[in-house]
C-alpha cells in the first residue's frame, strides 16, 4: 500500500490506497471499510504494510487513529503492521497518554546513530562519484567539519555539504575547506 501524500493521511486516502471506493465520510464507516479491505488482503495472503516517514511530525490525535485502524480480532492477528520513522521526539510523542495504546503495540524499536568520520568521508565520496565527480572535493578538515557540524546525521550532512560546495564555488575554490562548511552551517541557522 502506497500513499504518496504527506500525513495526516485521511481515511479516504487510505481507502483509495487500498483500492477501495467509498463515498462515506463517516469515520466509523470508513474505519470498518478499511479494516475489511485489509482482512480481505490478508485472506489472499497479501500483507499490507503502512510506512509513515516523518512520523515525529504527526499530531497526537493521529496516533490514536492509527491505533484504531490497527485493531483486528482483539489483537490476535497483526493484519496491518505499521512502521513509524522519525526524529528522536517520536519516542516522546508515543509517551503521551493519547498515544499509549499505539505505543503498547510496538514490538521493535531501532535508533540510528550518526555516522563517524570515516563513514562521512566514504559518504561524501560516494555522493560525489554518483554525480560524476572523480576527485575528492572536500578537504580532510572539511570532512571533519561536516561530520561534527551534522552530528553524523545524513540529512544535515547533505545540507552542509551542498552549502559548502556553493560557498567554495562562489569563491572559485577547487576544494571545499572547513571554513566553507562553517559558512554553510551559518546559513542553515
Q: Are residues 96 and 124 in the same domain?
A: no
Q: Are residues 95 and 144 in the same domain?
A: no
Cell, residue 24: 462515506
Q: Are residues 25 and 98 in the same domain?
A: yes
Number of domains observed in the structure of the chain: 2
Q: Are residues 36 and 58 in the same domain?
A: yes
Neighbours of 29 (CB within 10 A): 13
- Which CATH number fits the domain that encloses residue 169? 1.10.8.60
Q: Is residue 1 part of a domain?
A: no
Q: Is residue 2 part of a domain?
A: no
Q: Is residue 131 part of a domain?
A: yes
Distance in angstroms (rounded) separating the CA atoms of residues 73 and 124: 49
pLDDT at 13: 74
Q: Is residue 59 part of a domain?
A: yes
* Alpha helices per DSSP H over 59-176: 60-69, 89-93, 100-103, 117-130, 140-150, 154-170
Q: Of 103, 138, 153, at which residue does a domain stop?
A: 103
pLDDT at 9: 57
Q: Is residue 3 part of a domain?
A: no
Which whole-number Å values give the CA distances from 12 to 29, 132, 139, 152, in the listed order?
11, 43, 51, 39
DSSP label of 53: T
- Residue 134 burial (C-beta neighbours within 10 Å; 0-12, 13-18, 19+): exposed
Q: Of 44, 70, 103, at which residue does a domain stop?
A: 103
Cell, residue 109: 524499536
DSSP label of 8: S
Which residue range is the domain that position 128 belongs to? 117-188
Q: Are residues 65 and 132 in the same domain?
A: no
Q: In terms of pTM, does the model score above 0.85?
A: no
Question: How would you write the pLDDT of the chain (189 residues) with one tens digit per residue?
Answer: 444 444 455 677 777 788 887 777 787 888 888 888 888 888 899 888 888 888 888 888 888 888 888 877 655 667 888 889 888 889 999 999 999 988 988 888 888 889 999 999 999 999 999 999 989 999 999 999 999 999 999 999 999 999 999 999 999 999 999 999 999 999 887
Q: Are residues 94 and 140 in the same domain?
A: no
Cell, residue 82: 505499521
pLDDT at 10: 66
Q: Of 52, 78, 103, at which residue does a domain stop?
A: 103
Residues 6+ apart with CB under 8 A from 69: 14, 31, 34, 35, 80
Amino acid at each position: 500500500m502506497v500513499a504518496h501524500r504527506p500525513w495526516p493521511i485521511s481515511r479516504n486516502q487510505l481507502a483509495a490506497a487500498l483500492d477501495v471506493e467509498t463515498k462515506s465520510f463517516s469515520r466509523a464507516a470508513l474505519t470498518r471499510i478499511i479494516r475489511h479491505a485489509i482482512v480481505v488482503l490478508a485472506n489472499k495472503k497479501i500483507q499490507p504494510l503502512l510506512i509513515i516517514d516523518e512520523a515525529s511530525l504527526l499530531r497526537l490525535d493521529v496516533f490514536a487513529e492509527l491505533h484504531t485502524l490497527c485493531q483486528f480480532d482483539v489483537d490476535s492477528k497483526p493484519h496491518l503492521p505499521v512502521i513509524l520513522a522519525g526524529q528522536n521526539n517520536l519516542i516522546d510523542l508515543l509517551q503521551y497518554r493519547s498515544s499509549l495504546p499505539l505505543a503498547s503495540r510496538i514490538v521493535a524499536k531501532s535508533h540510528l546513530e550518526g555516522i563517524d568520520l570515516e563513514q562521512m568521508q566514504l559518504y561524501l565520496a560516494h555522493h560525489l562519484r554518483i554525480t560524476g565527480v572523480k576527485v575528492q572535493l572536500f578537504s580532510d578538515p572539511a570532512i571533519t567539519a561536516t561530520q561534527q557540524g551534522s552530528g553524523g546525521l545524513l540529512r544535515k550532512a547533505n545540507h552542509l555539504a551542498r552549502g559548502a560546495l556553493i560557498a567554495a564555488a562562489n569563491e572559485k575554490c577547487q576544494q571545499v575547506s572547513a571554513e566553507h562548511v562553517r559558512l554553510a552551517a551559518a546559513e542553515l541557522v
